[in-house]
Amino acid sequence: MTLYALKQRLMNRIVIKNSIAASLLLSAFNLQAGGFFVDASYLQANIAIAEQQFKPQLSQLGLGWQFTNRFSVEWSQAASAADDAVSTVSADIMSLSSVMLRYGSVVNSNVNTYVMLGYSELNLTMTGTSLQTDEVYTDLSLGLGFEETIFNKSGLRLHFDYLIHYDQAELTVSSVQLGLRYVFE
């Protein structure tokens, strides 16, 4: 046997052993290989400024990668669908960008719950008789959510999330999201 043939045989064994080890690790933790996903959501935001509450609506699109059925990363962009006017003052989130990490727990084969940690940037516009502002706010974001697979064994999932996007001094921005996510597995 030549040195080259011996090297090839050794490399093949290493690859096979590593593949077996990865498969065992994934199955030991009940993990499945993931894939690319797209997300479309409706958001009902809650803006609390001093003593006033506003509830603008946004539509959101997201892209992400699901590493396992427990861990994923997602980028999303939301735009205003409707502002919320309280008497003569209105508040609207013109845009909301987020990068989130999700880590979850598998409840059963169709349901996952998860916590989210990430970063959000939002453009908040307020208009009124004495108040007019258009500012960009950034902050660490966190939240909770769950998703359920629709049509058993398909990549289509319904999800519900609660997120706190910004929480500083007299301004708090949070949202409730309802959407569909499709994972290309």
Mean pLDDT of 23-27: 48
Whose CA is closest to 76, among 98, 59, 95, 101? 98
d(CA 182, CA 14): 35
CATH placement of domain 34-183: 2.40.160.20
Please report, for the chain, the start and end positions of each structural domain, with discontinuous segments joined by +.
1-30, 34-183
What is the separation of C-alpha 64 from the centre of its chain, rounded to a whole number of angstroms? 8
CB atoms within 10 A of CB 165: 28
Q: What is the pTM of this model?
A: 0.76
For 37-80, how does the pLDDT look when each residue is reduced to its tens digit (9 = 90+)?
999 999 999 988 877 888 888 999 999 998 887 899 999 999 88
